[in-house]
Amino acid sequence: MKKTLLLLLILGFMSSCSNDDTEVETQDFNPGDVLVGIKSGTSINSIFDFINQFDQTVDNINSLKFTSDLSSDNLQYVLDFLNEKAYTNRGGWFVSGYLHHQTNQITIFPRLYGLNNLGYQNDWLTSMDELELIESYNIELNSGVIHFNVPIGSELEWERQFENYSIVEWAELNRFVDIDPLADDNGNTNNCDIKTIESAEQYVNAAADQLEINSLSISDNCLKINFSSGGCSGDTWQLKLIDSEDILESIPPQRNLRLSLKNEELCEAFITKDLTFDISNLQVDGNQVQLNITNSDESIVYEY
């Protein structure tokens, strides 16, 4: 009888530990998401072939870079052409681009949505031919990150499965990282994480490492920004929300801000974070102001 009772206690303890582990695993990542970094130098055709091996939805492919052999005066034409596509313009994200400061070559950064759709894949390849787009690789970075949607509860299984493919550099769950609120000079914590900076000089010159802004929301005087970037853990990232100090006369008035990231982490995990910024210092006459986040094409109205 004692042996039976002891065995039941052991089994109960093991079951409790197993449940605790499962709970921990499901607390720090977005259910149903697996992110896959593709090895540098992999062509977009090979990425499509990889996607087509699975019966899984692709939310998006991001961290892509292309150049165009069209003349530099065609930059806006290229952007307008691509942003008319159903798979490039979604959730406030648009294809962005610029003229390279040294070569004056058109350079674009698309995020492609729903590319498990064969019609979308074929249309993108046709568009590449028409716009004379060439894939641009950085040997130190991956050739795109695929955001797969998999059945909830199978994320770890799919993460391990994706890692077995030769074109895959890494596979990660879409993890969230909590950031403790910052304290003021008296040691008191604020409702927001970081104070917004007003500086025309920093707006232009502060660090500008690559990041992707996913969403904006405001609660009281805190602007919450959900954003993603590559790295190891994101613990060493240095972030600033910087106002240009210009107030644009319109109804409502507008202010331009930039989210600055200094990222020296060399790992290739794709990390998503939430940060809140105290924007009470951005209030102007009246009871609202439109905040334009200039490195994301996102805007939000702040009412007070």
Q: Same domain for 205 and 280?
A: yes
* Domain boundary, last residue among 131, 152, 174: 174
Q: Which domain holds residue 42?
A: 30-174
Answering whether pTM is above 0.75, one says no
Residue 128 forms part of a structural domain: yes
Q: How confident is the model at residue 42 (pLDDT cuts 50, 70, 90)?
A: very high
Domains of the chain: total: 2
pLDDT of 75 higher than 80: yes
* Domain boundary, last residue among 133, 156, 174: 174
pLDDT for 125 equals: 97
Q: Same domain for 227 and 293?
A: yes
Q: Same domain for 190 and 124?
A: no
* Domain boundary, last residue among 142, 174, 206: 174
Residue 6 forms part of a structural domain: no
Residue 1 forms part of a structural domain: no
Q: Output the CA angle 145-207-104, nearest 5 degrees.
A: 70
| Nearest of 105, 98, 95 to residue 72 by alpha carbon | 105
pLDDT for 182 equals: 47
- More confident: 167 or 189: 167
pLDDT of 12 higher than 50: no
Q: Express each pLDDT in 86-132 by its tens digit.
A: 999 776 567 877 777 668 889 888 889 999 999 999 999 999 999 99
pLDDT of 20 higher than 50: no
| Nearest of 194, 198, 197, 214 to residue 297 by alpha carbon | 214
The CATH number for 255's domain is 2.60.40.2370
Q: Express each pLDDT in 157-166 by its tens digit.
A: 999 999 999 9
| Nearest of 158, 35, 52, 39 to residue 115 by alpha carbon | 52
- More confident: 181 or 176: 176
pLDDT for 262 equals: 87
- More confident: 129 or 211: 129
